[in-house]
Structure 1
Protein backbone atom coordinates (compact mmCIF):
# COMPACT_ATOMS: atom_id res chain seq x y z
CA UNK A 1 0.00 0.00 0.00
CA UNK A 2 2.80 2.42 0.82
CA UNK A 3 4.39 2.32 -2.67
CA UNK A 4 1.01 3.14 -4.21
CA UNK A 5 0.48 5.98 -1.75
CA UNK A 6 3.92 7.47 -2.40
CA UNK A 7 3.86 7.46 -6.20
CA UNK A 8 4.28 11.23 -6.09
CA UNK A 9 7.56 10.92 -4.17
CA UNK A 10 9.41 8.77 -6.68
CA UNK A 11 8.49 6.51 -9.56
CA UNK A 12 11.44 4.16 -8.97
CA UNK A 13 10.85 1.19 -6.67
CA UNK A 14 12.66 1.35 -3.32
CA UNK A 15 12.87 -0.53 -0.08
CA UNK A 16 10.39 0.16 2.68
CA UNK A 17 13.00 1.96 4.81
CA UNK A 18 13.92 4.35 2.02
CA UNK A 19 10.27 5.23 1.47
CA UNK A 20 9.91 6.02 5.17
CA UNK A 21 12.97 8.25 4.87
CA UNK A 22 11.28 10.14 2.03
CA UNK A 23 8.06 10.46 4.05
CA UNK A 24 9.94 11.74 7.12
CA UNK A 25 11.88 14.31 5.12
CA UNK A 26 8.71 15.46 3.33
CA UNK A 27 6.84 15.86 6.63
CA UNK A 28 9.74 17.88 8.04
CA UNK A 29 9.85 19.94 4.85
CA UNK A 30 6.15 20.80 5.00
CA UNK A 31 6.29 21.58 8.72
CA UNK A 32 9.31 23.85 8.38
CA UNK A 33 7.67 25.55 5.39
CA UNK A 34 4.52 26.29 7.37
CA UNK A 35 6.55 27.69 10.27
CA UNK A 36 8.64 29.78 7.86
CA UNK A 37 5.55 31.25 6.16
CA UNK A 38 3.86 31.96 9.50
CA UNK A 39 6.89 33.81 10.82
CA UNK A 40 7.31 35.65 7.53
CA UNK A 41 3.75 36.94 7.46
CA UNK A 42 3.67 37.82 11.15
CA UNK A 43 7.02 39.62 10.77
CA UNK A 44 8.77 37.74 13.54
CA UNK A 45 12.40 36.60 13.52
CA UNK A 46 12.49 34.62 10.32
CA UNK A 47 16.19 34.01 9.63
CA UNK A 48 16.57 30.64 11.42
CA UNK A 49 13.23 29.36 10.13
CA UNK A 50 14.24 30.30 6.58
CA UNK A 51 17.62 28.59 6.88
CA UNK A 52 16.03 25.40 8.27
CA UNK A 53 13.44 25.39 5.47
CA UNK A 54 16.17 25.89 2.85
CA UNK A 55 18.25 23.04 4.25
CA UNK A 56 15.22 20.72 4.36
CA UNK A 57 14.36 21.62 0.77
CA UNK A 58 17.94 20.99 -0.38
CA UNK A 59 18.08 17.62 1.41
CA UNK A 60 14.76 16.62 -0.15
CA UNK A 61 15.92 17.47 -3.67
CA UNK A 62 19.27 15.74 -3.16
CA UNK A 63 17.60 12.54 -1.94
CA UNK A 64 15.19 12.52 -4.86
CA UNK A 65 18.03 13.21 -7.31
CA UNK A 66 20.17 10.39 -5.89
CA UNK A 67 17.54 7.71 -5.27
CA UNK A 68 14.81 8.74 -7.67
CA UNK A 69 14.31 9.49 -11.30
CA UNK A 70 15.33 12.91 -12.71
CA UNK A 71 11.72 13.41 -13.82
CA UNK A 72 10.59 13.18 -10.17
CA UNK A 73 12.20 16.58 -9.58
CA UNK A 74 9.74 18.14 -12.03
CA UNK A 75 6.83 17.60 -9.71
Structure 2
Protein backbone atom coordinates (compact mmCIF):
# COMPACT_ATOMS: atom_id res chain seq x y z
CA UNK A 1 0.00 0.00 0.00
CA UNK A 2 1.50 3.29 -1.11
CA UNK A 3 -1.22 5.95 -1.32
CA UNK A 4 -4.09 7.40 0.67
CA UNK A 5 -6.40 6.53 -2.24
CA UNK A 6 -5.59 2.83 -1.72
CA UNK A 7 -6.31 3.12 2.01
CA UNK A 8 -9.61 4.90 1.37
CA UNK A 9 -10.61 2.27 -1.20
CA UNK A 10 -9.97 -0.51 1.32
CA UNK A 11 -12.07 1.33 3.91
CA UNK A 12 -14.85 1.79 1.36
CA UNK A 13 -14.84 -1.94 0.59
CA UNK A 14 -15.01 -2.70 4.32
CA UNK A 15 -17.93 -0.28 4.76
CA UNK A 16 -19.82 -1.74 1.79
CA UNK A 17 -19.39 -5.27 3.13
CA UNK A 18 -19.85 -4.45 6.85
CA UNK A 19 -16.34 -5.61 7.68
CA UNK A 20 -13.61 -4.26 9.91
CA UNK A 21 -10.13 -3.20 8.87
CA UNK A 22 -6.62 -4.03 9.98
CA UNK A 23 -4.10 -1.21 9.51
CA UNK A 24 -0.36 -1.94 9.55
CA UNK A 25 1.74 0.93 10.87
CA UNK A 26 5.54 1.01 10.74
CA UNK A 27 6.99 2.69 13.81
CA UNK A 28 10.63 3.66 14.40
CA UNK A 29 12.53 1.16 16.51
CA UNK A 30 10.16 -1.75 15.86
CA UNK A 31 11.12 -4.57 13.55
CA UNK A 32 7.58 -5.50 12.50
CA UNK A 33 4.64 -3.19 11.79
CA UNK A 34 2.01 -2.64 14.45
CA UNK A 35 -1.34 -4.22 13.54
CA UNK A 36 -4.42 -2.26 14.57
CA UNK A 37 -7.87 -3.83 14.18
CA UNK A 38 -10.97 -1.65 13.94
CA UNK A 39 -14.43 -3.25 13.95
CA UNK A 40 -17.02 -2.37 11.32
CA UNK A 41 -18.63 0.27 13.54
CA UNK A 42 -15.35 2.26 13.66
CA UNK A 43 -14.31 2.13 10.00
CA UNK A 44 -15.95 5.40 8.87
CA UNK A 45 -14.43 7.38 11.77
CA UNK A 46 -11.00 5.78 11.31
CA UNK A 47 -11.08 6.52 7.56
CA UNK A 48 -11.64 10.19 8.44
CA UNK A 49 -8.90 10.07 11.10
CA UNK A 50 -6.32 8.52 8.79
CA UNK A 51 -7.19 11.03 6.05
CA UNK A 52 -6.53 13.95 8.43
CA UNK A 53 -3.53 12.48 10.26
CA UNK A 54 -1.56 10.97 7.35
CA UNK A 55 -0.27 12.51 4.11
CA UNK A 56 -1.12 11.17 0.65
CA UNK A 57 2.06 9.03 0.82
CA UNK A 58 0.76 7.49 4.10
CA UNK A 59 3.39 9.16 6.30
CA UNK A 60 2.12 10.76 9.50
CA UNK A 61 1.72 14.55 9.30
CA UNK A 62 3.46 15.20 12.65
CA UNK A 63 6.12 12.47 12.45
CA UNK A 64 7.43 11.47 9.03
CA UNK A 65 9.05 8.33 10.50
CA UNK A 66 5.61 6.80 11.16
CA UNK A 67 3.79 5.42 8.14
CA UNK A 68 0.96 3.14 7.13
CA UNK A 69 2.35 0.18 5.22
CA UNK A 70 -0.80 -1.86 4.72
CA UNK A 71 -4.53 -2.17 5.27
CA UNK A 72 -6.95 -5.00 4.67
CA UNK A 73 -10.52 -5.93 5.52
CA UNK A 74 -11.32 -8.45 8.20
- Please classify the TM superposition score into its range, dividing by the shorter chain length: 0.3 to 0.5
Larger helix share, 1 or 2: 1
Higher CA-based Rg = 1
Scaled by the length of structure 2, what TM-score is found? 0.35
TM-score, scaled to structure 1: 0.35
